[in-house]
Amino acid sequence: MKTRSDELMMLLAVVDTGGFSAAAEVLDLQISRVSRAVTKIESQLGVSILNRTTRRLELTDEGRQFVEAVRLGLQQIGQAEEDIITRGELPKGRLRVDAASPFVFHQLVPLIQPFHQAYPDIELELTSNEGLVDLLEKKTDLAFRIGPLTDSTLHARPLGRSRLYIVASPDYLARRGIPHKPSDLAHHDTIGFLSPKSLNDWPLRGFSHLQANMHASNGETVRQLALTGNGIACLSGFMVKEDLAMGRLISLLEDDKLSHGAREQINAVYYKSSAVAKRISVFIDFIQPKLTL
């Protein structure tokens, strides 16, 4: 008896979520059905795909090879089905997109109306999360990640780099003076991030980890605090370029800045086996040349 594609998709969900209960929740199925599907696959293959412990599941060597082949095969099947269905038509269907709120506000929102005009049959769902979301758990098709990537199971498409700027408002600088070297920041009010702490490693020569006077959990909140004169912040160009051009914020310590750090990287990420690949590709193709990173 041959294994059905829906059973293989259950296996991938177990591997990607790390457990049967998590996979069942993502797939909206009973745990017993997911467990039976994986057991059936192992029985037909005559090998163990997963090593089961009380704490976690791990792929066996045979299982890792099999899962990679299944993932590629299902991706090709899904793409072939979508190509047939949408041949001669514009892509259609739901596309769930996630990014940190500043990227949503400053980069995606201005492009949504022209995208909808170009692809009226794609139903967009935008979410914003400050931390990294699990695409499977959150049922997300496409996410925009700022900084280094760590998840090797995701396909990544580089979108470019967004320079970091050390910024403060003219009002703040008029009251407190302009810092001329990184060590001067010790005598200023600074605004940092609650998490991850790596966002408080400012790209300045000889500058150690920031000990900020105030912290926020959201890049847009940090921007608003800087705009209203609360202190000096380090923010990505994709959210402050317009502020700098309009004089609402002033760029500081340019001669001491380090460039090309990992935090400048912007990537679009999605699962390689995604069945909505065409919707993902047209969305990225549409927005990439219009981004102001």
- pLDDT over threshold 80, residue 86: no
Instruction: Say whether both 18 and 62 belong to one domain.
Output: yes
pLDDT at 245 (0 to 100): 96
pLDDT at 85 (0 to 100): 60
Q: Residue 216's closest CA among 192, 240, 185?
A: 192
Alpha helices in 94-197 (DSSP H): 101-103, 109-118, 170-176
Instruction: Say whether both 171 and 29 belong to one domain.
Output: no
Instruction: Say whether both 74 and 48 belong to one domain.
Output: yes
Instruction: Say whether both 133 and 254 belong to one domain.
Output: no
**Nearest-angstrom CA–CA distance, 7 and 41:** 8
* pLDDT-wise least confident of 25-34, 154-163, 277-286: 25-34
102/54: higher pLDDT = 102
68/125: higher pLDDT = 125
288 exposed, middle or buried (CB, 10 Å; 0-12, 13-18, 19+)? middle
pLDDT at 71 (0 to 100): 78
**Nearest-angstrom CA–CA distance, 52 and 63:** 12
Beta strands in the chain (DSSP E): 50-52, 57-59, 93-99, 122-128, 142-146, 154-161, 164-168, 191-193, 214-216, 233-236, 250-252, 265-271
pLDDT at 191 (0 to 100): 98
pLDDT at 134 (0 to 100): 77
- Residue 264: half-sphere exposure toward Cβ, Cα within 13 Å: 15
Q: How many domains does the chain have?
A: 3
Instruction: Say whether both 135 and 207 belong to one domain.
Output: no
Instruction: Say whether both 65 and 79 belong to one domain.
Output: yes
- pLDDT over threshold 90, residue 43: no
pLDDT at 255 (0 to 100): 95
Q: What's the average model confidence in pLDDT over 34-43?
A: 88
Instruction: Say whether both 180 and 196 belong to one domain.
Output: yes
Confidence of residue 274 (pLDDT cuts 50, 70, 90): low
Answer for the pair 205, 259: CB distance below 8 angstroms, yes or no.
no
- pTM, two decimals, is 0.72
* pLDDT-wise least confident of 53-62, 166-175, 179-188, 204-213: 53-62
Mark which of 43, 65, 85 sits at the end of a domain: 85
pLDDT at 260 (0 to 100): 78
Assign residue 146 the CATH number of its domain. 3.40.190.10
Instruction: Say whether both 143 and 205 belong to one domain.
Output: no
Instruction: Say whether both 143 and 200 belong to one domain.
Output: no
Instruction: Give me the domain span that covers residue 28.
Output: 5-85
Q: What's the average model confidence in pLDDT over 165-174?
A: 98
Assign residue 50 the CATH number of its domain. 1.10.10.10
- pLDDT over threshold 60, residue 77: yes
Angle 214-215-221 from CA coordinates, rounded to 5°: 110
Confidence of residue 101 (pLDDT cuts 50, 70, 90): very high
Answer for the pair 101, 238: CB distance below 8 angstroms, yes or no.
no
